[in-house]
Amino acid sequence: MTIQSPEPNDTDVASGDEPLITIRNARKWFPIKGGMFSPVKAHVRAVDGVDMEIQRGETVGIVGESGCGKTTLGRLVMGLIPMTEGTITFDGDDIRDINPKELRRRLQIVFQDPGGSMNPRMSVRSIVGEPLIVNGLADGAELTRKVAELLSVVGLKPNHMNRFPHEFSGGQKQRIALARALSLDPDFILLDEPTSALDVSVQAQVLNLLDSIQKERGLTFIFITHSLNVVNHISDRVGVMYLGKIVEISETDELFANPAHPYTHALLSAIPQPSLDAEKTERIVLSGDVPSPANPPSGCSFHTRCPIAVKGKCDVDEPQLESLSEGHQVACHFPVEFGGSLPIHTE
């Protein structure tokens, strides 16, 4: 057990180029139990070897289909669930060595379901103030003051604090959740699909709020979502996940302009294009279902659905993340050339 220096000053430590969070070969395998008498039958490989670096003050979006392990990856970074293999360092220290309370203080999370993430029997004051209470940072009148402050930061009125979650709309609830995440003045916030339960109009408001708060406080975000539009709006960099692995990661603009992985292509082609004169891109429809993460395919995990998979290569060799250009990495044997389109045979 280590002794933490009292009140570590975030801004002082924030200097230097080293990334805030480094993920090295993170794996999380959930065991499937065979029953009372038989031991573990198999593992669900929710996260299966992820390498990533997150710089201070940036927003990294993680996109993928549901079940691809993006939420589990988020939980690993938060230290909420133990890792099977690999290391995650936060600010230079392995998160397993950081005192749990300290870790909770500096890493915060905003959940997907704004209603579900709040205890329906607690007032907003208790919800937003809970981190302060459990960490012994404020109590009584001081707590009320701090909560009022936090509520005005996220654009709510201080007198909302005596109300209960069911009295608020989805967008307001998400603001309250954000206020709770900000209450401990963290360095990093994990946003786990914070907007997917909201109406599109409200989504924009929340995203703008996130943006302004990030700029104001110099926060680092991981933004987990399945919506590419949202990612495009808020992220500096984007990682695409498929079956527990990052298949492509790049600057947002670069990724949208020059997607290299066929899966990314497929995702991007699924975005509806509003303008009439836009180039008619061929819509790539992936055949088949996502394979079971308990029994992932050999070789490249995407080869079962990949339109350009080559037999004897893709189903044997597992591609590793390789740099394509500066800051653009892809895990594919046959990455699509710069600006090119996917050479597929339309059915």
List residues binding another protein (CB under 8 A).
Answer: 1, 3-4, 6-7, 35-37, 78, 80, 99-102, 104-105, 108-109, 111-113, 116-123, 125, 130-131, 134-137, 139-141, 144, 162, 164, 177, 180, 184
CB nearer to another protein: pick between 92 and 120: 120
Nearest approach, Cβ of 295 to another protein (angstroms)? 17
Nearest approach, Cβ of 230 to another protein (angstroms)? 20
Output the six-digit token pair for 216. 């104001």
Tell me which DSSP letter residue 155 carries.
T
Nearest approach, Cβ of 209 to another protein (angstroms)? 19
With beta carbons less than 8 A apart as the criterion, state whether 90 and 107 touch: yes
Nearest approach, Cβ of 148 to another protein (angstroms)? 12
CB nearer to another protein: pick between 42 and 268: 42
Output the six-digit token pair for 112. 């997907």
CB nearer to another protein: pick between 58 and 113: 113
Give the H or E element holding residue 105.
Answer: helix 100-106
Nearest approach, Cβ of 257 to another protein (angstroms)? 36
With beta carbons less than 8 A apart as the criterion, state whether 135 and 125 touch: no
Nearest approach, Cβ of 16 to another protein (angstroms)? 24
With beta carbons less than 8 A apart as the criterion, state whether 329 and 315 touch: no
With beta carbons less than 8 A apart as the criterion, state whether 191 and 233 touch: no
CB nearer to another protein: pick between 108 and 252: 108
DSSP string, 217-255: HT-EEEEEES-HHHHHHH-SEEEEEETTEEEEEEEHHHH
Say which residues have a Cβ less than 8 Å from residue 124's Cβ, sequence separation at least 6.
Answer: 147, 151, 160, 161, 162, 163, 164, 165, 168, 176
CB nearer to another protein: pick between 131 and 262: 131
CB nearer to another protein: pick between 113 and 211: 113
